[in-house]
Chain A
Amino acid sequence: MNINKRQQYRNLFKQNVERRLFVDKIVRLIVISCVVTAIIPLGSILVEVFKNGIAAISIEFLTEVPGSIGSGEGGIGPAIQGTLIVIGMASIIGVPIGVLSGIFLSEFGDNKLAKSVRFFNDVFMEFPSILLGIFAFLVIVLVLGHFSVWAGAFALALIMFPIVARTTEESLKMIPVTYREAGIALGLRHWVVTMRIVIAAAKNGMVTGVLLSVARIGGETAPLIMTILGSSLFFNNFDTPMDALPLRIWRLSLLPYDSAQLQGWGAALVLILIILAINIGVRTLVLNKNDTYRFGKMIKEKIGGTK
């Protein structure tokens, strides 16, 4: 290939580049505007909720039982309590099952059983939550004869564990095989390698998965309708119906009174804040040691100004 040809090709290239830079700029603009467009509704929801709900917040609001309909008095105390209890219970059931399934699928999942489990898991994740609510209704409420917190926790756990299983499996799979090999080469037993080395490394991903599922079930309404029904009283025992924030929000929003609407906004704000608090709290507690080390070092540097 002679020099002229090469020069020809080079010239070709140059022309293309200029046009491409221009196209690049345009596309970048489009992408950014898409992102902004996507964030706007999100942001505006938060802003709306905050704006409308902040007025309703007061100690009384947070701790009292609901007053008579339309009076504007009372609060959402039982709803808050109910949400926390039912999320807590669902997690106690759903998280261990989900995590263990995830570990099974990732570490021992090369056989037919694992393939079918994975398949059903994925299908399950896509189930409309109202169907799961109906299922819980049939299995627990009808059998026991009444609505109860058990049923609600069960329904939410059903929603929760496929998500946890999936995210756990994916997090574990992202840990390169070489760490497992190193562990085995040190003469450690397989389960020790899985528990102490692989899971420790995958912790961040797994925690994210769990928090995602908690956020998801925190806002589920349909299954709760079928299972805990709702009430105006504080928690009594596990066998009775219970209130929860999504239910309360739903009920309040259907009432024609302004005061009820205001309380509804307030409840929505509280729900968002609770989910946020759970997220931040769990992350701080479970954050990987290395990140803490680095974080601490960063703080020390800013204060001390060394290194």
Chain B
Amino acid sequence: MATKPNTLQRQISSSSNIPTEEEKFKMIAENVTISYGDKPAVNNVTMKFKEKSVTALIGPSGCGKTTFLRCLNRMHDMTKNAKVEGKVMIDGIDLYSKDIDPIYHRRKVGMVFQKPNPFPTMSIFDNVTAGLRLNGVKDKKILNEIVEDTLKMAYLWDEVKNDLKKPAVELSGGQQQRLCIARALAIQPEVLLMDEPASALDPIATQKIEETITELKKEFTIIIVTHNMQQAVRVSDYTGFMYLGDLVEFRETKKLFTDPKNELTAKYVQGQFG
């Protein structure tokens, strides 16, 4: 009778990293610690994100992956009691340094949320262009171009091109989420953060979102938090596993899921806890 595999080769590797080859890192998060009050929710995490790749963050509920994701575009500025230490660098510039205007750099990092949240009072067109119009971009020609471009990237153009004035809330859940993706892309970010983008959607819509992500990674650097491990396997190039605020393992997706180096990772991905 076959017994449990020989565990000679398990090691703990905290803040582990992918081999640093010639490839460029678009975004680097260095020694990031985020705490609410006394308790740290994210504990000295370092991650490097390669350009034009998809990185998935997995882990059980409460492990800090969403908290970490949100610090990458300084969303925690809005949260009371949140303290963020460490550096988050895009193209070498630290987002958290004192002389950086967070607004300007937040435009480099777009975000898509778990539950689709198109602005309820606006039409499809207005939603997509919200980030531009409300920042003073008025040129109709440019707006039209961007709307077409981003809706095409989000695989939504064909479904809505005839009725862009329709209120955004009348779209289905999956369409709304793709609209939110288009809206995030409209501000021409370089990095796209996605917080469980398909968790509120049905399987067909989820599939479309995954197809979108696979297309987008040809141009953008994408970081996605997901509960669905199969989604991580399908969609991502690198995966980071977090547990109780620590980064337990970070490797190429295929390697992490077929041969995890860390015992905890192996347990989690095989569904032995969490």
Contacts and interface: CB of A to CB of B under 8 A. Distances in A.
Given A185-B73, A187-B135, A293 B165 contact: yes
Interface in A167-188: 176, 178-188
B205 interface: no
B121 A289 contact: yes
| Chain A CB within 10 A, most for which of B73, B110, B130 | B130
Contacts of A197: 119, 121, 130, 134
Interface in B77-134: 78, 80, 103-104, 106-107, 110-111, 113, 115, 117, 119-123, 130-131, 134
Interface in B130-184: 130-131, 134-135, 165-167, 169, 180, 183-184
Contacts of B130: 183, 186, 188, 197
B220 to A, nearest CB: 15
B12 interface: no
A293 B170 CA distance: 11
B111 A201 contact: no
A285 to B, nearest CB: 16
B103 A187 contact: yes
Interface residues of B, number: 30
A178 B134 contact: no
A38 B73 CA distance: 55
Given A110-B80, A187-B131, A203 B104 contact: no
Contact of A187 (B106, B120, B165): B106
Q: How large is the interface on A (under 10, 10 to 19, 20 to 34, 35 or more residues)?
A: 20 to 34
A288 B121 contact: yes
A178 B121 contact: no
A192 interface: yes
Contacts of B119: 179, 182-183, 197, 200-201
Give the top 6 A-B pairs by smallest Cβ distance, nearest first: A186-B131, A187-B107, A185-B111, A290-B167, A187-B106, A178-B117
Given A185-B113, A187-B187, 15 more contacts: A178-B115, A180-B78, A182-B117, A183-B134, A184-B106, A186-B106, A186-B110, A186-B184, A187-B135, A188-B134, A189-B103, A192-B135, A201-B119, A293-B123, A293-B165
